[in-house]
Structure formats: C-alpha cells, structure tokens
Amino acid sequence: MPKTVMVVDDEERIVSLVQSYLEQEGFRVVPAYDGREALFLARQEKPDLIILDIMMPEMDGYEFMRTHRKERETPVILLTAKIEEDDKVIGLELGADDYVTKPFSPRELAARVRAVLRRAGKTLPTAGVLHVGGITLDRDSHIVRINDAPVDLTPSEFDLLAALMSAPGRAFPRLELLDQIQGVAYEGYERTVDTHIMNLRSKIEADPHQPQLIQTVYGVGYRFAAQ
C-alpha cells in the first residue's frame, strides 16, 4: 500500500508540481492549500508525512504544527521561502524533521521525503518500472534500457523521460516538464527543455531527425507516443 504524503502550500503550482513528482515516485498525495484545510484533511487521511509551507492564509505552518502535534506525531518537512535562521529554529523546535527552502528541486524533495520516512521506520513504496515503446525505465535503479540494451542518460534526461513515459499520449507543456526536471526556480527558461529533448532523442530514437517516440506538440510542448 503506498505511503500517503500531504502537501500543504497556498501556491497551487507548487502543490501540483510536488504532487505530480511524488505520485510518479509511488506515493499517494493529498493536496491542501491552507492550514485549516490541512488540519481537517490530516485528521481524515492520517498521512505518513506532511510537506508544509510556513507562510499561508487562515493558519500558518507554525500554528498548524502546534495544533497537529497535540494529536499526532506525523513527520513534517517544512517547505518555505523564508531562510532566516530563527524561522528554521522555530520550525525544528516545533518538531519539524527537515527543512527545504524555495526554490527547490523536486528530485531533492523526493529524496528528503524518502530519508525522513526511512528514519521514521516506515516501509517505502517502490518507485516502479515503466515499459513503453520498447523502452524500460526503472526509477529505483535509475536504469533505462532499449530492447535490453542500457542507455546512458543524464539526471535531467532521466527525469524528463520518466515524466513523458508516465502518461503516454498526454501533451506536456514545456513549463511543466521544466518543473519536473529542475523545479520552480527556473520559470522563464522553459526553452531549455528543447535542448534536453534534442539530446534525449539522439539517445533513444532510431532516427532523431524523424522522432517516433518523443513527439512535438506544436504550441504546447511534447508527448510520448501512445502505444
């Protein structure tokens, strides 16, 4: 049974990004957009871990932790743009298990989720293996094979391919793909995805100039061919 992670942030794009990445990693994700909603959902869903923004409307992250800690000892990773040492100390004194500052990498955040859950003694989900169009991608071992032959990919190329293969036939906007591989810090540089796609095609396509697997969706971005 997948572990449940609650993601609490008043920025919908951040919640969507983290939810998408963690679900690809095998977690069940419960989104919330303010502290009061999160408190209600935490009582209903009893998540295994909470990713919590500090600065939120209705009830901020500190107040949420003070209230929630009276009811459950759920591991918490604070996610915030605030970097002052006092804020970090307050969060840790309230019982936070880790602290990630914005901007952040989804890969790093997922690694911290796994580390915190591991320390808490919780069995982790297997990230899973994807098989599409003769390509096998193993998230656990970080290995990609084409017809059983290994393919050498950079971390960004691997994350990009994993995102595309997770939903064959779906058109991914460039900005969403950029979020998947680099995080929210890089808005405005979405055309760099084109470079990653070009390099990825050179490694997995029979003819990179006439790609059959990674298709361009003009005016949108890219999709992995549905098989």
Domain with residue 115: its CATH number is 3.40.50.2300
Positions in the chain short of pLDDT 50: 184-188
Count of CA atoms in the C-beta half-sphere (13 A) of 93: 8
Q: pLDDT value at position 77? A: 92
Residue-range definition of the domain harbouring residue 94: 4-119
Nearest to 13 by CA among 102, 132, 131, 119: 102
- Decide which of 119, 139, 174 is a domain's last residue: 119
Model pTM?
0.66
Query: Does 147 fall in a domain?
Result: no
Q: Is residue 168 a contact partner of residue 225, using CB atoms and an 8 Å limit?
A: yes
Considering its fold, how many domains does the chain have in total?
Answer: 2
Q: Please list, in sequence order, all residues whose beta carbon lies within 8 angstroms of the beta carbon of residue 122, skipping any fewer than 6 positions away.
A: 3, 48, 49
* Confidence at residue 81, expressed as pLDDT on a 0 to 100 scale: 75
